[in-house]
Amino acid sequence: SIFVEDIDGKNIIVVEVKESKSKPVFAFDRVYKRVGKSNHRVSSEEIRKMVVEGRKIYWDEQICEGASLEDIDWKSVEDFFIPLYEKLSERGVIGKSKELLKSLGCIKNNEPTNAGILLFGKTPQKFFISSYIALGRYKGKEVFGEKLDYKEFTGNVFQQIDNCNSYLVEHTALMSKLVPGEVRRRDITEYGRFSVRELITNAVCHRDYEDQGGKIIIKAFDDKIEFYNIGGLPEWITPENITSEQYSRNPTIAKVLAKVEYIEELGEGWDKIIKEHKEHPLNPKMPEIKSTKNSTFVTLFSTKEKFEKGKKELNERQKASIDFVRRNNRITAMEYRELNDVTKKTATRDLHDLVEREIFIKIGRTGKGVYYTLNPIYKGDIRGRKGT
């Protein structure tokens, strides 16, 4: 800051420069240090030492400028965090809430750290204006389509994660399908539930909070959800090796989230995302990760289109065969050919499709003894369309 001060009757221009937390600081491509009343140029060896020491201080463990313990939401700490912490750690909290937050790195020198405000602050956005999630929901597959909704998820880190996740669960499809090898129909989510929550949590946990020029942005389309975050991946982590490398831009925030199982403490989040995709009955496309120097971009792909293709309208031959089975309890391949006046190849293809759709059940393996009956779980009308 620059100001004018009266000293001995003279107006003196005073330039006040606060100590930088990021060291070394360069001036005209050189680094200087103050020794007594003079400035000394720093050697290359000293610069290397300062860089190493500077790396030991993370942004989230620094004291939050302008904040006091009154800015902590102690009710949330006691009613939400501590019960969850005690339950998952299987041990009670010894001492006061303040002592717990100290031990977690959220209070230092009787003042809240940046992590403390983001995790437990009454209004974190008072200190970090862009520390929220902006979510847009669109009709269609591009931003040029109609915007159906826009939401901003503010509050502390826990509130942002929980509220954003609940919104996406509410506004994505839940589909019912009979999975091979299972007796009952299974409810299948359009997106893996773990994947959605993990990507929201990752965005909040690992964003670059020093850069308050941007915010976390999520865009939900008919065929995908895009997660845009401030802060690129470090040089040694790539989309290809992300499951085998680990990095926390905000280690204090990550540690606290891990204590209450909001994130995977051993860095297994991406492994579980990949596993969830591989085990999804509709075989969704794997998530896509892109990273630049200043941002990270992840896309989850919907399975709804695959599910809808599986429900395409039956042809007239298939509808007629369903009506036939309803009246006669069964149908053979020969009866199907005669009913619809088609070749053996066409009859085989149509009947196979009806079995795949879980409308018909095939009785027998091969030969003249094979016939088809109506699947009891099928609730369609005589035209072959699904009932409601």
CB-based contacts of 170, cutoff 8 Å, min separation 6: none
User: For 50-79, b where at least 16 C-beta lie within 10 A, e where not — what string?
Assistant: beeeeeeebbbbebbeebeeebbbeebbee
Q: How large is the average pLDDT for residues 142-146? A: 87
387 pLDDT tier (thresholds 50, 70, 90): very low
Segment among 20-29, 52-61, 253-262, 353-362 with least mean pLDDT: 20-29
Distance CA 353, CA 60 (A): 57
More confident residue, 233 or 166: 166
What 186-193 contacts at long range (C-beta under 8 Å, 24+ apart), as own/partner pairs, is: 186/281, 188/280, 188/281, 188/282, 188/303, 188/307, 190/302, 190/303, 190/304, 190/307, 191/225, 191/284, 191/300, 191/302, 191/303, 192/273, 192/276, 192/277, 192/280, 192/284, 192/300, 193/169
**pLDDT tens sequence across 53-68:** 555 678 999 999 999 9
- Quick check: 200 and 133 in contact, CB under 8 A? yes
How would you classify the pairing of strands 174-178 and 371-374?
unpaired
Torsion sign over Cα 65, 71, 77, 81? negative
29 pLDDT tier (thresholds 50, 70, 90): low
Mean confidence (pLDDT) of the chain: 86
- All domains in the chain, ordered by first residue: 2-57 (no CATH), 69-126 (no CATH), 133-308 (3.30.565.60), 314-374 (1.10.10.10)
pLDDT above 80 for 228: yes
pLDDT above 80 for 123: yes
**pLDDT tens sequence across 127-136:** 999 999 999 9
pTM: 0.69
- Fill in the DSSP letter of residue 271: H
Query: Comparing C-alpha atoms, which of 77, 62, 184 is closest to residue 122?
Result: 77
**pLDDT tens sequence across 278-287:** 998 888 899 9
Query: Comparing C-alpha atoms, which of 300, 241, 238, 306 is closest to residue 273?
Result: 300
3-state secondary structure 9-68: CEEEEEECCCCCCCCCCCECCECEEEECCEEEECCHHHHHHHHHHHHCCCHHHCECCCCC
77 pLDDT tier (thresholds 50, 70, 90): very high
Distance CA 113, CA 59 (A): 9
